[in-house]
Amino acid sequence: MKLHVQHHGNPSNPPLALLHGWALHGDFWPELVDELAQHYYCYNIDLPGHGQSASGTWTLTQFSQTLAQTLPPQCVVLGWSLGGIAAQHFALNYPMHLKALVLVASTPRFLRAPDWPHAAKHDAFDQLASDMHQQFEKTVGDFMKLTLLSGERPKVPWRELQRRAFQHSAPDAKSLQNGLNILAATDFRFHVERIYAPTLCLSGSHDRLTPPQASEFMAEKITKGEWVNIQGAGHAPFMSHPEAFQQALMPWLANLS
């Protein structure tokens, strides 16, 4: 598996990896990358089949293996949404590679279950998967509106977000379907307690895809877990509430021993 990685910042600074969400890429969140690059050497990674990473089907196991070969030891990993699920898998399987974990609008289980109400509905998810094969750009645009325009709107204009989303060639359909399959099949609720690295769970109070209760659950289960719920934010709190997001994130990172 070949991953496209952009490096930002001073190589002498501590390493930090960023993993984006479904159907997007590493160029989608430059404001956050620029902020982190002032203090860390950032590995801004395109998930498989997204952005400029090689296309094709993939599994969390394959991705974590490649990530372990790509990142230096004792790296901080920040994962948003699907990237957060990938980050959880990496933390569970390569704990010695990890210094700390930041889970943004993430969840241990994406779809609802009788004992898990803090998640997306199956019918909406199935409709997304069906529409993707017929009207890709419209479906991704609708998905972005759901994820980015819930809660207060991002500081970045909507037209600019659309431009960023499609600035690279369209993501590989098989890889996108794989990402949906991963979201549908993954359930880390009974495993996150084995994450021992310091973990910050950041959520948006108005997130309709990964409700804040999912972040609260993870923070309670993880031994060194902490939870910050950003009021008024949706699924992309780093875009709608950058000041509050950075006020929660940066001191926490600075206090890592």
Q: For the residues 147-154, what does the mean pLDDT come to?
A: 68
Give the active site residue among 81, 106, 150, 215: 81
Is residue 133 annotated as a catalytic residue, yes or no? no
Answer yes or no: is pLDDT of 243 > 90.
Answer: yes
pLDDT at 185: 94
Q: Which domains does the chain have, with CATH numbers?
A: 5-254 (3.40.50.1820)
pLDDT at 56: 78
Mean pLDDT of 84-112: 97
81 included as an active-site residue: yes
The dihedral region occupied by 140, where left means phi > 0, alpha psi between -120 and 50, and beta the remainder, is alpha
Which tens digit of pLDDT belongs to each residue from 22-81?
Answer: 889 999 999 999 999 999 999 999 999 898 998 778 899 999 999 999 999 999 999 999
pLDDT at 57: 84
Instruction: Tell me which DSSP letter residue 111 carries.
Output: B
Q: Which of 207, 215, 240, 241 is catalytic?
A: 207
161 residue type, one letter: L
Residues in CB range of 185: below 8 A, 6 or more apart: none
Measured distance CA(219)–CA(93) in Å, rounded: 19
CA distances to 75, 81, 148, 202 from 230, in Å:
25, 16, 14, 7
User: How is residue 198 written in tokens?
Assistant: 């310091």
Provide the pLDDT confidence category of residue 241 given band limits of 50, 70 and 90. Answer: very high
Q: With a cut of 80, say whether residue 106 has pLDDT above it.
A: yes
Q: What is the pLDDT of residue 133?
A: 63
Does this model's pTM top 0.85? My answer is yes
pLDDT for 152-186, tens place per residue? 677 788 888 888 888 877 676 778 888 889 999 99
Q: Which of 20, 89, 235, 241 is catalytic?
A: 235
Catalytic residue check, 235? yes
Distance CA 246, CA 228 (A): 11
